[in-house]
Each structure stands twice: as structure tokens, then as C-alpha cells.
């Protein structure tokens, strides 16, 4: 475990470039330049769980694009092992408890020509600090300590997360139907109004359902259904959530 770094995804990329193996995992007590999706900053004070796992091909799940949602299932399941926490997945990669964000996932892939050189699966969990202590307190953030009233055993959560990741990756490859059932049971975004931005285009509607790990169905304002590939999405907003 590092005391501090810019971002565990940065450190993992440096180590990957000098040959670190599949499964190599890096953790940091604090990040000074933690990153979220859509170019956002991920504030990462001491007490959180900030980690990145290096994945080298061939790895499960088979499709690279499934990685964030499969990791979201594993993260939600891990968090729900704490009695009193009811974590849910907000497509595509947020973990919420009620209307507050508890954790997020950032998957980044490095290509070598047309081939995947490696993927970095970054997971951030707001654990042992209060959301009021965030540098820029976020009214929509929560932490495990806020929810449970006392600090959690981070090592136990990390061990459980690594186990669940392996389990869910395997399930997604061997029995995708069961993994989809699990995803649907953990989702909190279906039925919510959503605005989705693509390169040069936007759609608004209601998040209707998951077609697969990589595709959702949106009911647009004019009542039509539109399928959206998660990989084609540039930004996602939930105006009322
Ligand atoms: C998001 O919700 O936008 C994704 C947040 C991902 C944060 C984690 S913390 C560990 C890893 N290192 C980073 O810089 N980001 C990810």
C-alpha cells in the first residue's frame, strides 16, 4: 500500500509498462489527482479505498466493454456484505446508496495497435472518512463511515472485493444469464430520467432496461425505444437523481 500517489491508475500504468503481471494490484492511502469518468476529479482523502487492478488479456469477461459493469456488480455485492448498507448500481458505473454516491469505477485500456495491451480497473470506495470532510463537500456523496457510524475494516473489504471480482468475472463468462439477473437485482437506474451524450449527439429519456452488460434500452420522450452501447457514451446525467 502506497501512502500517497497521484492516481493508482497512473502508478498501475507505469508498472504495467515495465512488465507487472495480470492481477497486479496497487492501493494508496491517499490520491492527489484521483480521476473519475468524464474527466472529473475524484477526491481521495486518507481513509478511503483507492485501488487499481491490472488486467492483461486474455481475461474474463471476454468483452472488454463489460468490464466496468461487471466490476460494479462485484463492488455493490462487496459493499452489501456490510449489514445496513444497501448499495445499488447506477448505470454505467456508479455505486449509490439511496441518492448518494458511495463508490465509482474507472476502467482504462491501453492498446498496442489493434490489440489490447492491458486494462486498468480502478475502484474508489468512500470508506473511513465523513463526506463533510471532502475538500469540496459534495451533497450527493456518502461514505461507509457516514452510513454505519463507525470505521470499517478496509482490509476485509478489499479481500472481499478481490474475491467477488473473480467470482463475477467468472460468472459473466460461464453463465451470463445469472450475472444479468444479479445486475438487474442490484440496479437503481431503470425507470429514472437520463440524458446521454454521444460524440455530437444527445438523447433524453427513461432508462428502461439492460439488454446486455454492454447495452441498455432507453425510452425516449416520443415513446420510441433506443438501444445504447455503453462504449459509445461520452456523458450520462440523471437530472433528478
Ligand atoms: C467515477 O465514478 O467517475 C469513477 C471513480 C474512480 C475512482 C478510482 S479511485 C482508484 C482509481 N484511481 C483513480 O484515479 N481513479 C480510480
Domain boundaries, the chain: 8-186, 193-237
pLDDT higher at 134 or 141? 141
Contacts of residue 178, defined as CB under 8 A and 6 or more positions apart, other chains included, come to 171
| Nearest residue by C-alpha to atom 2 in ligand 1 | 104
Confidence of residue 104 (pLDDT cuts 50, 70, 90): very high
Q: What is the CATH number of domain 8-186?
A: 3.30.930.10
* Lookup: cell for 118: 492491458
Distance CA 239, CA 52 (A): 30
**Cβ < 6 A, ligand 1 pocket:** 7-9, 31, 34-37, 40, 42, 44, 50-52, 94, 104-106, 122-124
Confidence of residue 188 (pLDDT cuts 50, 70, 90): very high
Burial code of 208-218, b = ≥16 C-beta within 10 A, e = fewer? bebebbbebbb
Locate the ligand 1 atom nearest the alpha carbon of residue 31 and give its number. 14
Q: What is the pLDDT of residue 38?
A: 85
Q: What is the pLDDT of residue 114?
A: 83
Q: Specify the range with the lowest mean pLDDT, choosing from 84-98, 108-122, 130-144.
A: 130-144
Share of the chain above pLDDT 90, in %: 85
pLDDT digits (tens, 9 = 90+) for 54-70: 999 887 555 678 999 99
How much is the average pLDDT of 76-88? 97
Locate the ligand 1 atom nearest the alpha carbon of residue 104 and give its number. 2
How much is the average pLDDT of 31-50? 94
Confidence of residue 211 (pLDDT cuts 50, 70, 90): very high
**Distances 122 to 5, 55, 63, 74 between C-alpha atoms, Å:** 14, 11, 17, 13
Mean pLDDT, the chain, rounded, equals 94
Above 90 in pLDDT, residue 238? yes
| Nearest residue by C-alpha to atom 8 in ligand 1 | 124
Locate the ligand 1 atom nearest the alpha carbon of residue 33 and give its number. 14
Q: What is the pLDDT of residue 60?
A: 54
The 8-class DSSP code of residue 42 comes to -
Locate the ligand 1 atom nearest the alpha carbon of residue 40 and give its number. 3
Q: What is the pLDDT of residue 133?
A: 79
> Pocket of ligand 1, candidates 2, 53, 124, 143: which has the most ligand atoms within 8 Å of its Cβ, to mutate?
124
How much is the average pLDDT of 203-215? 96
Q: What is the CATH number of domain 193-237?
A: 2.30.30
Q: What is the pLDDT of residue 179?
A: 96
pLDDT higher at 160 or 200? 160
The 8-class DSSP code of residue 216 comes to E
Amino acid at each position: 500500500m502506497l501512502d500517497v500517489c497521484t492516481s493508482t491508475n497512473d502508478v498501475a500504468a507505469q508498472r504495467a509498462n515495465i512488465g507487472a503481471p495480470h492481477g497486479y494490484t496497487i492501493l494508496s492511502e491517499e490520491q492527489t489527482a484521483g480521476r473519475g469518468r468524464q474527466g472529473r476529479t475524484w477526491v481521495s482523502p486518507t481513509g478511503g479505498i483507492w485501488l487499481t487492478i491490472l488486467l492483461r488479456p486474455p481475461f474474463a469477461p471476454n468483452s472488454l466493454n463489460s468490464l466496468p459493469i461487471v466490476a460494479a456488480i462485484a463492488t455493490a455485492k462487496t459493499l452489501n456484505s456490510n449489514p445496513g448498507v444497501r448499495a445499488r448500481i447506477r448505470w454505467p458505473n456508479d455505486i449509490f446508496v439511496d441518492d448518494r454516491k458511495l463508490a465509482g469505477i474507472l476502467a482504462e485500456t491501453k492498446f498496442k495497435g489493434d490489440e489490447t495491451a492491458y486494462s486498468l480497473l480502478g475502484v474508489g470506495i468512500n470508506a473511513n472518512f465523513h463526506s463533510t470532510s471532502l475538500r469540496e463537500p459534495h451533497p450527493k456523496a456518502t461514505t461507509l463511515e457516514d452510513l454505519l457510524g463507525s470505521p470499517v475494516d478496509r482490509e476485509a473489504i478489499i479481500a472481499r472485493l478481490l474475491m467477488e471480482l473473480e467470482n463475477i468475472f467468472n460468472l459473466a463468462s460461464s453463465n451470463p444469464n445469472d450475472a444479468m439477473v444479479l445486475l438487474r437485482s442490484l440496479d437503481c437506474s431503470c425507470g429514472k430520467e437520463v440524458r446521454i451524450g454521444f460524440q455530437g449527439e444527445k438523447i433524453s429519456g427513461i432508462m428502461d432496461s439492460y439488454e446486455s452488460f454492454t447495452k441498455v434500452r432507453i425510452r425516449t420522450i416520443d415513446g420510441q425505444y433506443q438501444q445504447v452501447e455503453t462504449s459509445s457514451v461520452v456523458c450520462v446525467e440523471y437530472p433528478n437523481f
